[in-house]
């Protein structure tokens, strides 16, 4: 019995050490945006600072049945700051969708009619919307790609262009994250 207990303790301790460097999901967006806590950082996060950022999302790396990694980066941003002590109310996040990334904001019927698969980004977009992330679509990209406003999911607002939205948001104090 003693040998089994020692063996069990060794296995559980060593496996905990093996997996200590694994990223984890959450705490703000569950199931997306894995991050690490960084306890050894030299630059502290300013208390009370509001992180106002706009993500310039123009690419859609990967296949049509995979998540857009640019949207996953938004979840990572929220999770890494939340995990390291920044409250959600101190994060003001906007995403400007244009170019190929815009297809990720299509409803399931619109996406499926074009790509023969459901939109893999909808769950993530809904979770981001639920925590207050704002989405803006480039009106120019919509026309070039033949997308109609009624095909976009609810939280996405249409602007004149991505260039216009990025200019307006930056002049309103949002830092650009390309």
CA distance 64 to 122: 13
**Which tokens go with 84?**
């390291």
Q: Are 92 and 51 in contact (CB under 8 A)?
A: yes
pLDDT of residue 14: 44
pTM of the entire structure?
A: 0.86
Q: Where residue 15 falls among pLDDT bands split at 50, 70, 90? A: very low
CA distance 89 to 109: 34
pLDDT of residue 107: 98
pLDDT of residue 32: 98
Model pLDDT for residues 68-80, shown as the tens digit of each residue: 999 999 999 999 9
CA distance 159 to 161: 5
Contacts (Cβ under 8 Å, ≥6 apart) of 14: none
CA distance 169 to 54: 7
23-35+49-177 has CATH 3.40.1260.10 classification? yes
Question: What is the 3-state composition of the chain as percent helix, strand, coil, each rounded to the nearest 5?
Answer: 45, 15, 40
**Which tokens go with 30?**
């569950």
Model pLDDT for residues 17-69, shown as the tens digit of each residue: 444 578 999 999 999 999 998 889 899 999 999 999 999 999 998 899 999 99
pLDDT at 12 over 70: no
pLDDT at 13 over 80: no
pLDDT of residue 61: 87
Q: What DSSP character marks residue 131?
A: T
Contacts (Cβ under 8 Å, ≥6 apart) of 157: 134, 135, 136, 137
Q: Which sequence spans correspond to the domains of the chain?
A: 23-35+49-177
pLDDT of residue 4: 56
Q: Are 120 and 69 in contact (CB under 8 A)?
A: no
């Amino acid at each position: 019995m003693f040998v089994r207990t020692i063996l069990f303790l060794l296995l559980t301790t060593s496996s905990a050490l093996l997996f200590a460097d694994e990223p984890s999901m959450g705490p703000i967006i569950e199931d997306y945006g894995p991050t690490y806590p960084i306890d050894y950082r030299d630059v502290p996060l300013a208390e009370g600072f509001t992180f106002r950022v706009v993500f310039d999302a123009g690419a859609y790396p990967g296949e049509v049945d995979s998540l857009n990694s640019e949207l996953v980066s938004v979840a990572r941003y929220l999770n890494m700051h939340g995990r390291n002590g920044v409250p959600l109310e101190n994060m003001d996040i906007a995403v400007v969708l244009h170019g190929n990334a815009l297809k990720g904001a299509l409803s399931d019927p619109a996406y499926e009619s074009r790509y023969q698969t459901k939109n893999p980004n909808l769950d993530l977009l809904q979770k981001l919307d639920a925590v207050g992330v704002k989405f803006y679509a480039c009106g120019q990209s919509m026309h070039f790609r033949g997308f109609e406003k009624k095909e976009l999911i609810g939280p996405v607002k249409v602007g004149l262009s991505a260039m216009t939205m990025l200019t307006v948001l930056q002049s309103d104090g949002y830092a650009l994250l390309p």
